[in-house]
Chains A and B, each alone.
Chain A
Amino acid sequence: MSLIATLARLEAVRAGRAQPAATVRHRHLSERPLVLVPLTTAGEAGAPLGALVGPDRHAPRLLAVPQPRDRDLRFAFLAELADVVLPYIDSCALAVEAAERTETDPESGKRVKVEVELCADAPQLIVPSRAGIDFVRLLGRSMRFRRTAEQDPQTPHPAPPRVPLLGRWLTHFGERARVPGSSLLLALTDVLARHWTTGQSSLEDQHLGALLAWISPPEGASGAEAALRAELARDADGQLECPPAGPATDPAFDNKLLAPAIERYDRARTALAAAEDGLQADDRLGALTAAERGIRALVEECALPTWEKVWDGLDLLRALPEGAHVEERWTRDRWSFTGHRDRVLAGEPPQPRRDDAVTAANKLAAREREQARLEAQEALDDPLVMAGRRLAGEAFAGEVTDVVMAYSEGRRPSPRPLVTVRTDDQPHLGERARVYRSLDGRPQSAEFVAYEEDGAEGTLITLRILDKMGRGKEPAAGSVPDKGDRLCFTLFEHEQRGGAKLPDPEQTPWTHGGPPDEESAPEAPDPVTEEDVL
């Protein structure tokens, strides 16, 4: 934890409410995000119990699985989920704008510009917490290798149409969520904790109710009290007043309410199956429907508070102005979305179970670049984030006290002005360290030359400006700071260089096991085991 985060937590404890950790919003928020509040069944991985889902706060769609162990009911749930999620995705996939992309021409091997489509907007999925992202990933993994009757008439348990497609999309969302700064799939607790610092631990921040209690405590209560209540308060029946944001449910809810309701449902179903005539069947169908309604009501009761809280959280975030670089990062999300749309349209197979060596290395490199980019951009967009970097000795701000014109040696002397900045910060500058400042949105680099204590007035840091001054002998207008300017230099780079190109997967070298086997692609669906047909 950085020093400024520690200080902010201490302040939050003293003030009794969360302290801002950002002055702008660092993540894109869609006009019309799709909120998904999933619930899962205890004791069985990837068995959904139900969900509230939809892009409209006032019209959530309730999905429930009355018997989560029944695979047919589970498929019905997934098919219903697909009916909500896929049209939402399609609504973004259709509106496109023309864009350019550089590609390697297969014939000449040269980099050429090609005209391509870029989706004008991308879907955005919001889940309450980080565990929700894992659940989305798990759902995607469980669905994308399924076969529909249309794809494979022989398959013993065909999936409903569109379920495998939903699996591919959820997998893409889950994978994209691992890219730092991406906004296709967001966990609300992560985004809120990025923008506010509470007086509790970061582990406790993953409880949506407690986190919101710190950020906007009710009248007359401190954040700590409200958070404690959100975590622990129970009603007369022993049920949590603020149910957990899921997907896992509270054991008291499972034992006291859900288990009896499911048992009622099971009994009603067995009774219906044993009905001897039409009249009896009608009666028993009524009982079954009632039992199912009971479970739906429980699921709704459990998920609705979280649903409301997610929208409250989104409102809080919307009140912050968007950071300057957020749009650029969202464009990358749009590219990612468009790319996957094109792969689906082109009939490519679902994402493989495991990445091959080259894909894994490429992903890791891309994410490391994005992480560095995100850290730099957040600091440049937000003085409060920059303050944290200054406190950590990774940046300094101050007033220009002196500018001396100087020139480089060599045949064509170029301007290398010496700029002295007075600062109260204590940057960790090594010998000839590079520093950068933003000049009309582009980084101008300078070299650290000398350090001088200026008594109580702070430190005088002399820098040699190195670039962005034009080609002439005299620096371009406005490219050299003037005396009295207030500047902020960073020790970290503002832009990230692309890494080296890795070999194609077919060229995987011997050190990494050679090219992947031809047979393994395309991947077969998971084999059906006994557990699948309980």
Chain B
Amino acid sequence: MTAPAQETAFDPGMAATRATDAILRDTLHGPHRGVVVDSPPGAGKSTLVVRAALELAAAGRPLMVVAQTNAQVDDLVVRLAEKDPELPVGRLHSSDADPYDKALDDLPNVRKSAKTADLAGLDVVLSTAAKWAHVKTDEPWRHAIVDEAYQMRSDALLAVAGLFERALFVGDPGQLDPFSIVGSEQWAGLSYDPSASAVTTLLAHNPGLPQHRLPVSWRLPASAAPLVSDAFYPYTPFRSGTAAGDRRLTFAVASDGSAPDRVIDEAAESGWGLLELPARYTPRTDPEAVRALAAVVRRLLERGGAAVSERSPDPAPLTAGRIAVGTAHRDQAAAVRAALADLGVTDVTVDTANRLQGREFDVTVVLHPLSGRPDATAFHLETGRLCVLASRHRHACIVVCRAGVSELLDDHPSTEPVQLGVTVKFPDGWEANHAVLARLREHRVGWKP
């Protein structure tokens, strides 16, 4: 742990710059075929990818960029064009209808095609792993950047690794692991288990690759970084880029004393809020919990929130677009959407943890994955799921949950079979859930709807 003397001298900007410089040095001039960068939530991963891409392009090395979803690819293309509008960029896309974001059509130096031949000779070509897997080439790219590499499956990397000579792998080890819809125990413990993450396989076969870490989260506020770091990254801690007073959330309308308002005030004050409903076993789409989520979201909007941060010293209104609701299951998300529509609330993002990965909001309202459940399955205990849900916000996070989750956790200790040769992940979901709950309980508001 950091000594107190250094702590006072900790300058987040400097620390981040030092880390980035080391990464770029290894990427551009290092002797290794691969470089791995672990990035906690909101640590400037995309900024790093864009910067590395520009430097590699400037060094005259043809570059391919592999991301996992079309939205991620489009986002990177837009960011690249913002930084360097002159850079010739290729967006390789599928032949489906609407394969890319229409915003790309306004960028003059971005060429879009479903065929690699049309994009030959461009400095940077970007696409999804799924599309790259169909590309055949005689001459591999000199360099590649693999974004969200911890969310990429080993077999997806196998399909594209022949396309490049060297690569920079960037990702967040704390988020959701890739999954497969069929059992894959047969290959558990093999270094190239096709259902494992790409980075796991890469490091198993190339243990000497340099591994870097981004030390500062620019998204998470000073109130959230310690909790997320302690619960999900206990061995690779990170800091918030902002100090305690840098961000403020205020409301024009005073609290009416109701539980949703009280939990909103608690969250505005401390960064966290736990709205606890009475213990009960419920179906997945717990109607009371869904109504509670919707009520909190409506009050967030009705009370005229304003956010002050290092980005906007003048209070910026807390609009629907800056709020997200996160759930574990798609039917829960659908139920919340319907409940919000009934209250006349639109434009609030409601989605599952899987789809919220990589996104950022001012305030998030989260349905706890274990709320109302009689059992704690591996899916609901997964560390990454809770980590994604608890790390999307810049100001505050409100968790809606039924009471009794800690008892549930104690009744269901982790019982997954131990597989030989598989690195045990720490912390496990059980431990992480307890750590988060222990902290959330300090910000508890009870509600009997």
Contacts and interface: CB of A to CB of B under 8 A. Distances in A.
A510 B134 CA distance: 19
A507 B161 CA distance: 10
B243 interface: no
A357 B191 CA distance: 9
Interface in B174-211: 180-184, 186-187, 190-195, 198, 201-202, 205-206
Contacts of B334: 393, 428
B134 A367 contact: no
Interface stretch (B114-122, B152-160, B262-270, B300-308): B152-160
A372 B181 CA distance: 9
- Residue of A178, A363, A510 contacting most chain B CB atoms (<10 Å): A510
Interface stretch (A38-46, A98-106, A495-503): A495-503
Given A3-B283, A367-B182, A513-B192, A502 B159 contact: yes
Nearest to B130: A500
- Residue of B34, B181, B190, B193 contacting most chain A CB atoms (<10 Å): B181
Interface string A362-395: 0111011011100000000000000000001100
Given A354-B190, A500-B130, A180 B331 contact: no
A73 interface: no
Contact of B193 (A3, A358, A360, A502): A360
Contacts of A503: 158-159, 162
Contacts of A511: 34, 157-158, 161, 198, 201-202, 205-206
Interface residues on B, range: 35 or more
B133 A500 contact: yes
Interface residues of A, number: 34
Nearest to B334: A428
Interface in A388-426: 392-393
Contacts of A510: 33, 161, 205-206
A503 B206 CA distance: 20
A514 to B, nearest CB: 8
A512 interface: yes
Interface string A102-139: 00000000000000000000000000000000000000
Given A393-B331, A513-B191, A364 B184 contact: yes
Nearest to A354: B190
Given A393-B334, A509-B162, A360 B190 contact: yes
Given A364-B180, A512-B201, A513-B192, A357 B158 contact: yes
B142 interface: no
A361 interface: yes
Contact of B192 (A180, A357, A393): A357
Contacts of A235: none
Contacts of B155: 360-361, 364-365, 502
A325 to B, nearest CB: 19
B61 interface: no
Nearest to B205: A513
A255 B54 CA distance: 74
Contact of B181 (A363, A371, A432, A514): A371
A133 B87 CA distance: 58
B149 to A, nearest CB: 11
A355 interface: yes
B34 A368 contact: no
Contact of A512 (B130, B183, B205, B283): B205
Contacts of B98: 432
- Residue of B98, B192, B206 contacting most chain A CB atoms (<10 Å): B192
Interface string B193-232: 1110010011001100000000000000000000000000
Interface in A302-330: none
Interface in A463-504: 499-500, 502-503
Nearest to A375: B181
A356 B331 CA distance: 38
Nearest to A357: B192
A512 B157 CA distance: 9
A178 B187 CA distance: 13
Interface string A327-361: 00000000000000000000000000011111011
Contact of B180 (A355, A368, A512, A514): A368
A463 B28 CA distance: 52
Contacts of A357: 158, 192, 194
Nearest to A427: B334
A428 B335 CA distance: 9
B192 A512 contact: yes
A6 B259 CA distance: 33
Nearest to B331: A393
A194 B396 CA distance: 46
Nearest to A502: B159
Contacts of B193: 360
Contacts of B134: 500
B291 interface: no
Shortest Cβ-Cβ A-B pairs, 8 listed: A500-B133, A509-B161, A361-B155, A357-B192, A361-B194, A513-B205, A428-B334, A511-B161
23 contacts: A178-B183, A180-B182, A356-B192, A358-B158, A360-B194, A361-B158, A361-B194, A364-B155, A364-B182, A364-B184, A371-B181, A392-B331, A393-B331, A393-B334, A428-B331, A503-B159, A503-B162, A509-B161, A510-B33, A511-B157, A511-B205, A512-B205, A514-B205
Given A355-B190, A360-B187, A514-B205, 7 more contacts: A360-B186, A363-B194, A368-B180, A371-B181, A499-B133, A500-B134, A512-B154
